Amino acid sequence: MYRNIIIEGDEVDSERDFHRVIANALDFGEYYGNNADALWDMLSSGMACGVCINWKKSSVSRKKLGSTFDVIVHLFEKTKDRYQGKGNEKEFEFILE
């Protein structure tokens, strides 16, 4: 069973906003680097195992974040591929609405 994390796209106006939201939702801790490399470090270490991220109004975020949105989605895809087939407690899923 996945733990569901919701990202409200109309509340993510910048890359900084995204990192604040994801770090709080997944409890990355105070030393999280708030950038794509730090996000990959956390996702690939298993911090998001058993999680489904539902990014509502993702098209709003896409417009506001530009190419940063594509980088984040790419990292989500890599994480999904990394843990696919490992069982629900390990798998990672994301939904862009």
pLDDT tens profile 28-68: 999 999 999 999 999 999 889 999 999 999 999 999 999 99
The DSSP symbol for 28 reads -
Is the predicted pLDDT of residue 16 greater than 80, yes or no? yes
Question: Which amino acid is located at 50 in the chain?
Answer: G
Domain that residue 13 falls in: 3-96
Say which CATH number the domain at 41 has.
3.30.370.10
Indicate the pTM of the whole model: 0.93
Bridge partners, 53 (sequence order): 5, 94
Q: How many separate domains does the chain show?
A: 1
Side-chain half-sphere CA neighbours of 26 within 13 A: 26
